[in-house]
A and B are shown apart, each in its own frame.
Chain A
Amino acid sequence: MKRRDFLSALGASVGVLTLPNAFAQTAPGTTAAYKKLLILIELKGANDGLNTLVPYTDPAYASLRPNVQIKRDQVLQLSDRFGLHPSLAPLMPMWQSGEMAALMGLGYPQPNLSHFRSIEIWDTASKSNEYLNEGWLARAFAQVAPPKSFLADGVAIGGGNLGPLTNGSRALSIASTEAFLRNARLADPHGRAYNKALQHILRLEGDARFAGSQLKPKTDWKTDFPNHSLGQQVKTAMQVVSASSGVAAVHIGLGSFDTHGGQLGTHQALLTQLAESIATIKRASEELGRWNDTLALTYCEFGRRAKENASGGTDHGTANVQFAFGGAVKGGLKGEFQSLTALTGDGNFIHTADFRSVYATVLNDWWGLPKGTTQSILGGTYPTLGFV
């Protein structure tokens, strides 16, 4: 409720404010599906997909990116058309063993180029002109609930916002397991909530108290966790996964990819961090014997403008590539890379696949939810992408 009202308060206007009908009708149930873990990795600020999965043989690439370019002899070749940014070298073993998929050309009709609105569209799986309150995972968990014994439905690492877990799911925010456990004893859920704000607080108190009683972090890791921001988030995430009674989804994030100027250096550093962290997810999951049950997925609000700008950077764009990793992932290039020459009037790419197809794949093929349920969660039918 809050979020929608907030938006309209700010004059955001437009949009149909409805939920899929089936949402209200389906009774929550529990499922064994959520023994399979989803790790979402948000690339905050919008990653430049064109310099991440580089169409290095396409002459159009060099002309769009005369300066903000990954040189042909530097890419890590995946095929005769595409190569990875050199900073992604730690991912190559996964690519070679078929545990990494590139999901190409993702976007949605009538793209919105505002960070904030577009990430909301991705987080809520809404249409461009539709304002939904709940994150897509929150909607999934409302329809098919993870077991009550789970530590939580989902955990957002880093203490930030809940993204796709927003509103309705039993979502925890954890900055570090140590601080969480130290402070959870202060949580007290008793008392009567006579307004929404109090309801919110008492629910958090209850969630924190329960999670505090369930969380017993592993102390004898063989895996080394990188000392950078994302690496430490991975550590916290894996602590949660290893030590808890269960969790369906974990959210971590890295930024800022909003490279309007001086992109090359910043992007290189961020992708290095990303690749090291994903490789660490694999190692830690294997240590837990859970790599085959783990799906790690990147996402962000949009890609960047086809043509570089005059500041050695790139402005906000549209269609983009994302990546999936896991022991059970069907590796390879999935879908169709967007055309580099057929651009919109304002110089943006035209997407070839709807981002909700990624979610449909997760709900249908990863968690095995019925097609009808997936449909009502996503407010429509989207073909799956075959990466799991």
Chain B
Amino acid sequence: MQSPPSPQASLLRYALSVAAAAIAWALIVSQVNAQAAAPAMGFDEARHLLGRTSFAAQPSEIAEFAKLTRAQAVDRLLAETRRTAAYPAPQWATSYVRIYRPEMSQEERQKAQRREQVERGLELRAWWTAEMLSTPSPLTEKMTLFWHNHFATSQVKVRVAQLMYRQNVLLRQYALGNFGALLREISKDPAMLIYLDGAQNRKGMPNENFAREVMELFTLGEGNYGEQDIKEVARAFSGWSIDLDAGEFRFRRPQHDEGEKTIFGQRGRFNGDDVVTLLLKHEKTAEFIVGKLWLEFVSPEPNRAEINRLAKDFREGGYEIKPLLRAMLLSDEFWMPTHRAVLVKSPVELVIGSLRQFRFEVEDPAPFSVVMRQLGQDLFGPPNVKGWPGGDTWLNTSTLLARKSFLNRLFRVDEMSSPELAGTTAALIDRDLMGERRQRAQTRLALNGGGGSMAGESMMAAGANATPFGVNNQMKGQYHFDANKWFAQYPNESDSSMLWKTLLAGPPVQATELKYDLAGVRAIALDPMYQLK
């Protein structure tokens, strides 16, 4: 695995500046449109809104949003969202070519495929990390990640990186679009068909995996369907398959069970599309989705009445996500002061947020995808179909210490190259190669340049949160924090509270007597409050 060429690095820098320009432009426009009559949000509310809907609230953004009303600000945020990634995808991702390698033995072929998929899995993670670091539309990425967690699918099982990429494109396309359409597309998504064994679900030989999870985890929630419904839904989806040469959905009629089914007490010759329609008619679906979004955006304590109110409008409005999000972000609950700083940042929010907040120049995003994995959130690799449990469970002694260690390193000096971070990439390759089956020692040795490092194994042994620093490897992970430039955002050094008010969702718990210097920034980053949004 070679480090991405430097053009990519400069691309990322370029993309970051584009992002900044886009935000600035949007702010000018919204300012012009601001109506004098409605009350402006002010600093605290602007910071809260941006903290929840973007990765990091920049001082200039907060200042500009503070002049808007809540409704203007929310409309502004929702109007700006992209539906495609801005950062260029790896070349292999955009064209699906099935390589047969007839000249190889079966074992060689498997080895080659495995190595290719592991490398591509890593590139894919790096690509999404770069997109999140540079996007002018952070809300799009947050929602894409939300749907990735909802329709959880893992490269570890799918093992075809192009299909994982395609699913990611799909999730982004509908991230703030229509949930019904997204559900329909997901039921035919090749990566999903592999992940939940749908492609193996045939007439007379049902596989219940997708049928169960589409109801339990994607729509209704546990307890709102019966075991018999699962069996019948599995029959309805039989024949939903994949054309492996094209990497696309294919309906195989001979494998589809055309018979009558009874689902939720209704009889009919249902197929998969009919099931999706039934699921969208079911009132629990909207409640389930809104309940999950509540935990993401509003508070860890669900307000049933509010959730049901929003869910009713969501369902009746045909499952449009933007109006739902608008209503949620404009609800009184969202703005309650007691609901600030009550949500634990995910590893992605912590890492991407920190890098964006402090405008780190990142030469290679790959090591940061590994850091996120160590903190418990492996992009394209959720732990199981339920996704990451999130909330307070992001933090245990192990992950909290790993977060603090990462933050501590970020600000130890104002410029450093990090062989430690770089080393993590090698370990990642190692771990992935082991995948679900037992690893082959030869493959591992080949990737480690014959060094025979056991780091990958010990990392796997220790789980996702191990810190396999010290792994020998040729990659260089450079990241750079320009402190002088960054502190220039704070011209008024006499008011030191501006520093924590910008960087923290609430008053610091431990960091006191803050100065506008690296020590001050580090103290804030290590404060427990920094873990919250």
A residues with a Cβ closer than 8 A to B are 2, 5-6, 8-14, 45, 112-117, 156-162, 171-176, 179-180, 182-184, 186-188, 190-193, 195-198, 200-202, 204-205, 207-208, 211, 227-233, 235-236, 256, 260-261, 265-266, 269, 309-311, 315-316, 346
Contact = CB atoms under 8 A, between A and B. Distances in A.
B295 interface: yes
Interface string B384-406: 10100101110111111110110
Contacts of B197: 260-261, 311
B161 interface: no
13 contacts: A2-B300, A11-B291, A114-B212, A114-B216, A158-B463, A176-B462, A180-B398, A186-B404, A195-B341, A201-B395, A233-B463, A310-B206, A311-B197
A220 B383 CA distance: 34
A265 B288 CA distance: 37
Nearest to A312: B200
A260 B234 CA distance: 14
A196 B205 contact: no
Given A5-B301, A197-B342, 15 more contacts: A9-B292, A11-B284, A158-B465, A175-B398, A175-B402, A176-B462, A179-B398, A180-B397, A187-B400, A233-B462, A261-B200, A311-B197, A311-B205, A346-B228, A346-B231
A183 B208 contact: no
A175 B223 contact: no
Interface stretch (B328-336, B476-484, B524-532): B524-532
B458 A198 contact: no
A116 B509 contact: no
A10 B221 contact: yes
Contacts of B307: 9
B532 A117 contact: no
B466 interface: yes
B461 to A, nearest CB: 2
A205 B437 contact: no
Given A5-B301, A10-B292, A315 B208 contact: yes
Interface of B: 197, 200, 202, 204-209, 212, 216, 220-224, 227-228, 231, 284, 287-288, 291-292, 294-295, 300-302, 304, 307, 338, 341-344, 376, 383-384, 386, 389, 391-393, 395-402, 404-405, 408, 436-438, 454, 457-458, 460-467, 509-510, 526, 528-529, 531-532
Contacts of A261: 197, 200, 207
Nearest to B467: A179
A159 B466 contact: yes
Given A5-B300, A183-B401, A11 B223 contact: yes
B384 A115 contact: yes
A247 to B, nearest CB: 13
Contact of A197 (B224, B300, B376, B402): B300
Contact of A179 (B376, B383, B402): B402
A113 B216 CA distance: 11
Contacts of A157: 463
A112 B376 CA distance: 28
B467 A232 contact: no
Nearest to B376: A159
